[in-house]
Amino acid sequence: MTTGTIRTGIGGWTFEPWEGTFYPDKLTKKKQLEFASRELTAIEVNGTYYSSQKPATFAKWASEVPENFVFSLKASRYVTNRKVLAEAGDSMAKFLGQGLSELGPHLGPILWQFMGTKKFEPEDFEAFLAMLPKSQDGIPLRHVVEPRHESFCVPEFIDMLAKYNVAAVCADHHDYPMFADVTADFVYSRLQKGSDDVESCYPPAEIDAWAKRFKTYAAGGVPDDLTLIAPARKADKKPRDVFAFFISGGKVNAPNGARLLQTSVG
């Protein structure tokens, strides 16, 4: 059996402490994306959560990165930060129609992140999942949700995601729940326990452990050392792409972590 592609990356590409460390001295800001996209294999864009971009901006990003590089886009807060998700249709259409299809093959998963206070209301959340389109302007879409409330830690939620082929973030976080269950044809992880005091963001032994897990996911399996919400449920054993981002914790050294992880997964 073949295996899926494992991509590793960071959040954004503009961060002053990376200048002269991750980025070479005197590299202009205009060249940072070009450089980062050749050192890493994916970047999660946070700016799209706060405001819309122009089609020309997405096209420019696409023109600066190599063939197999992808952007994950965090979806607009105006979609996810609302009491009734079933009423988010217009905001969702506005976000998806802003021109992100200009990224073409460089468009990775779209991340729908929810507030930590947002509780699982099955009927309303399923209405949200049912609204997620499978394509935009002919470009296939992959969706991943990041709920951060414990009420989502029930098998009903996992079954619901699988029904719509939507992933949940496998979050390595001090406070938010981890969803290690496979519910889509890809896996999306956010590694958020890094430290600025560790040169590789995560200790090398922990990066090796995550590399093994991601290789298991990519080959169609499920790691046996992560706790599942619905352990009785058996996901189809088939190759899956994996996206792994070093986010927030240890941001200063996040690029080092992403590069070491990419080397570890081969």
pLDDT 10s digits, 71-127: 999 999 999 999 999 999 999 999 999 999 999 999 999 999 999 999 999 999 999
Domain ranges of the chain: 6-265
Q: Give residue 266's pLDDT.
A: 84
Is the per-residue pLDDT at 46 higher than 90? yes
Say if CB 174 and CB 148 are below 8 A apart: no
Alpha-carbon span 221 to 215, nearest angstrom: 9
Is the per-residue pLDDT at 1 higher than 70? no
Q: Please name the residues in contact with 106: beta carbons below 8 A apart, sequence gap of 6 or more.
A: 61, 62, 65, 69, 70, 71
Buried b (16+ CB within 10 A) or exposed e, 172-197: bbeebbbbbbbbbebbbbbbbebeee
Say if CB 73 and CB 111 are below 8 A apart: yes
Alpha-carbon span 146 to 168, nearest angstrom: 6
Alpha-carbon span 14 to 266, nearest angstrom: 27
Tell me the average pLDDT of the chain: 97
Report how far apart the first and last C-alpha atoms of the chain are (Å, whole number): 17
What is the gyration radius of the CA atoms in the chain, in angstroms?
A: 18
pLDDT 10s digits, 169-222: 999 999 999 999 999 999 999 999 999 999 999 999 999 999 999 999 999 999
User: What class is the 6-265 domain?
Assistant: alpha beta
pLDDT 10s digits, 252-265: 999 999 999 999 99
Alpha-carbon span 117 to 9, nearest angstrom: 28
